[in-house]
Amino acid sequence: MSRTKHALVIGGSLGGLFAAGLLRKSGWTVTVFERSAGALASRGAGLGTTRELVETMRRAGARLDVSMAVPMTGYVWLDAAGRVVHAQERLNSSSTWSRVYLPLRDAIPAGDYRAGMALERVEQKGERVTAHFAGGATAEGDLLIAADGNLSTVRRQLMPEVEPRYAGYIAWRGIMEERDVPPAIRGAHFDKIAFTFPPGEMSLAMPVPGHGDDTRPGHRRYYFIWYRPADAAKLRDLCTDADGVDHGLSIPPPLIRPDFIRAAKQDAAERFAPDLAAVIARTAQPLLQAITDLESPRLVLGRVVLLGDAAFVARPHVAAGVSKAALDAAALADALEAESDIDAALMRYERERLDFGRRIVAHGRRLGTLLDGKDVPPERWTGDDAYRDPRRVLADYGAPHLVHDLTARDLVA
């Protein structure tokens, strides 16, 4: 009889949990190693959902719940006066990170999830791979799955040249209670993604689950994200605190200099429909984030596999980071089931997911074309310049090959 194969999963967020859940279903033993010692908590924003995401949750043994998503009916583009320029029906929904994380975590036996284990390096000998953790602990397996996020320790050891790439624009983000949203938005547009396209910029506002992941009308929250070009010098300035400390690509919200927040709110008042500007003005503590993407040229290095954000990160316009992590894990489990030889399975996984990752990153870049700080007149548009037209952005928003129109039917357990 063949020996049960063992996988080490580095990173206990969504990518790691999907991989662990699906490999367990395929008969592997799996141990997840998560650096954070305490409970992981949502980063507080909405999360794009897809049918592929919930199907993979079901397959990984997670319990589904119709209340996990806030349904939306379409997109609306509002001009600076609040008039509808363009509207489009498109079923869609948002959920939260913890509504995906908790059911996946429940599907993994507690003893197979080891918190407070920070991987330091990986070592490979023949068909065995050893993980070395801070404090000196080690673990050995037939396969190591790097699900340790966009700054992956594993990827940095094996491919140090691969790093997140700044897209040339930042995003201001904020969230407010449904009851505080101006009545005009609450009445006419609350169940849609409301887009605005000030010259060379883009913003979206949408309902997301409220406190305690509550999705009931009246208890939801309203989330906005506003993309603005910023060259390297401007980014450095925005991410430098009042003491002159440069925080790189993301500054802790309380350290954002108040003058930048004031200036952004002032700009919003001049560029947005008054009700959307009011949403931004009423946000007590906006967040600031540099938009990046990341592409790995390889996903398999011996018995080490990159998955989720460790492998590829597309810009947020595709709204599919979590779905991509789920599909990476599903493709890995499928390949390991289809091939009796692990190395052949890994090659199959790499072929399939390199292609998907490249396509989704390219689509995210396309959707961000109008944020590149260039002013190209329509008569000189070529190729992806078509995405300087907001109508084209709206037509192709989201991930091209995933199904975003999740309905309550998809969520029946």
Interface contacts to ligand FAD, rule CB under 6 A: 10-16, 33-36, 40-45, 47, 97, 118-119, 147-149, 153, 308-310, 321-322, 325
Closest to ligand FAD by CB, 40 vs 261, is 40
Q: What are phi and psi of 165, to 5 degrees?
A: -110, 125
Report the residue number, 13 or 283, with the smaller CB distance to ligand FAD: 13
C-alpha 53, offset from chain centre: 12
The structure tokens listed for 233 are 């010098």
Shorter beta-carbon distance to ligand FAD: residue 14 or 102: 14
**Considering the complex, what minimum distance in angstroms separates the CB of residue 323 from ligand FAD?**
9
Q: Is 62 helix (H, G, I), strand (E, B) or coil?
A: coil
How near is the Cβ of 193 to ligand FAD at its closest, in Å?
15
Residue in the shown chain whose Cβ atom is closest to ligand FAD: 308
* Shortest Å, Cβ 150 to ligand FAD: 6
CB atoms < 10 A from the CB of 198, how many?
16
Residues 201 and 272 sit within 8 Å (Cβ to Cβ): no
Tokens of 123: 């070592």
- Beta carbon nearer to ligand FAD, 124 or 200: 124
Q: Report the residue number, 36 or 88, with the smaller CB distance to ligand FAD.
A: 36
Smallest distance from the beta carbon of 131 to ligand FAD, in angstroms?
Answer: 9
Query: Two tokens at 373?
Result: 């700080």
We find the least distance from the C-beta atom of residue 147 to ligand FAD, in angstroms, to be: 5
How far is 336 from 346, CA to CA, in rounded Å?
Answer: 7
What is the distance between the alpha carbons of residues 329 and 308, in angstroms, rounded to a whole number? 8
Strands (DSSP E) found in 70-218: 70-78, 84-96, 113-115, 119-125, 128-133, 138-141, 143-146, 165-177, 192-196, 202-208
CB of 84 to ligand FAD, least distance (A): 27
Q: Give the chain's radius of gyration (CA, Å).
A: 22
Of 148 and 372, the one with the shorter C-beta distance to ligand FAD is: 148
Q: Alpha-carbon distance 207 to 234, whole Å?
A: 30
Distance in Å, CB of 413 to ligand FAD, minimum: 22
Find the angle CA(218)-CA(223)-CA(228) to the nearest 5 degrees: 160
* Nearest-angstrom CA–CA distance, 109 and 38: 17
**Is 16 or 398 the residue whose CB approaches ligand FAD more closely?**
16
